[in-house]
Structure 1
């Protein structure tokens, strides 16, 4: 299914929302990856955006009977662009548009790479209850104080050479110190594009989102990591167990 048929686009809007016949009780907003620098708009054939479509479909199936709005953020620029924080600004615009449409419903943000960083920043919005970061970009000085009272689950492949798994670990440790419920899951053999064992990435992410929304139990490995008082990081047991973890 192509992006245009899955989400309804409105010219100039930051929020690209899947049509729903009923008012939502909660929302999930997806944020795709991008570049460190780039003032040009994302291209029409946007591979980072396309990579999030299987996640969108999987989450849509899991939440279909629960009045959960599903949307994505449309970026004005391809890059983060230093102190401009363009992707974070677009994420906040999308959240503002969601409030205007449906009120302050609880939101879970799901972001990959640069989109993970934007999701973490946008979690300052009061309606955001949780963030799921997929191979997120977590610079050393990324702020975490605003994550107090939020739930943060970062999923990172151990073989990622674009964003560092260790940066995710350190961010969740700092987020915990700031008052967040946070953990990092390390996926064996996982890489940045999430192509290797893609179905496992989709399934685990969907189960985490469903758990954070209260629609189903969290996967045990996530629940244990969030509740651990000693270690914010857990390894998914084995490559073949990613689906069941």
Structure 2
């Protein structure tokens, strides 16, 4: 756990943060991958704990997706079940980076999940011989994808294509492009964290989204799926 509201205070929403993984591996989870999402988890905790937000980083059983096993998505769904056992019927946001972003998208069909934040999601190359990445489970969820345009590890064009398919059945889908940033989204780190907080707290705690997020969700494709993340996002007043 990163944080939870003070003892005796109600938990009104839970974020499950999903670290990086690998396409195929039987090795134990990577401590570096876990550490890589701590800044996001801590930022969300600072912003949301006073309003009843609990934040947990999921510890996978292993680091591999491993084909049809989709083990990281299964671990995300298990964690969502655990949230129900610990906190009761509260809304959940799945927030993942890289392979964790793919896990968040896949596990979105869990009944308690109402929103998904996929940051630089790892997605397989388009292949007509392989079943395309599913999007039906995203219907009824608030979905945001964030991707650096210079990501050399996970192709940003693949996340655009997935967002394009998702938007056809779920209008509450948007995608932000972080121009000149790479996979780890470090160049515009503060803006990315501010965007993540804006989305997560808006989706879970009924805060009003900032104008850029509202516009991105409302805009037809491709505008709402190639929304540029402005320099300095989060420094000005939300409304």
Q: Give TM-score, length-normalised by structure 2.
A: 0.88
Note the C-alpha offset of 1:120.
0.6
Give the structure 1 partner of residue 226 of structure 2. 234
- Residue 171 (structure 2) pairs with residue 188 (structure 1): no
What is the root-mean-square deviation of aligned Cα atoms in Å?
A: 1.8
Give the structure 2 partner of residue 145 of structure 1. 136
Alpha carbons of 1:34 and 1:244: their partners in 2 closer, same or farther (altered >3 Å)?
A: same
Note the C-alpha offset of 1:237.
5.4
Q: Give TM-score, length-normalised by structure 1.
A: 0.86
Question: Which whole-Å CA distance do the structure 2 matches of 1:229 and 1:194 have between them?
Answer: 25
Note the C-alpha offset of 1:119.
0.5
Say whether the 8 Å CA contact 1:221–1:234 is kept in structure 2: no
Question: Which whole-Å CA distance do the structure 2 matches of 1:220 and 1:115 have between them?
Answer: 27
- Residue 121 (structure 2) pairs with residue 130 (structure 1): no
How many residue pairs are counted as aligned between the two chains? 227
Give the structure 2 partner of residue 25 of structure 1. 12
Match of 1:171, SS? helix
Note the C-alpha offset of 1:178.
2.2
Note the C-alpha offset of 1:189.
1.5
> Which stretch of the first structure deviates more once superposed, 155-164 or 213-222?
213-222
Match of residue 221, structure 1, among 208, 212, 226: 212
Question: Which whole-Å CA distance do the structure 2 matches of 1:108 and 1:134 have between them?
Answer: 13
Deviations, residues 105-131 of structure 1 (Å, cap 9, x unaligned): 111111001000100111101111110
Question: Which whole-Å CA distance do the structure 2 matches of 1:50 and 1:215 have between them?
Answer: 29
Structure 1: give runs of 5+ residues left out of the alignment. Answer: 1-6, 8-16
Q: How does 1:1-245 map to 2 (within 5 A)?
A: 7=1, 18-20=3-5, 21=7, 22-43=9-30, 46-139=31-124, 140=126, 141-231=132-222, 232-236=224-228, 238=230, 240-244=231-235
Deviations, residues 160-200 of structure 1 (Å, cap 9, x unaligned): 01111111111111112123511110011111012223222
Note the C-alpha offset of 1:42.
1.4
Match of 1:196, SS? coil
Structure 2: give runs of 5+ residues left out of the alignment. Answer: 127-131
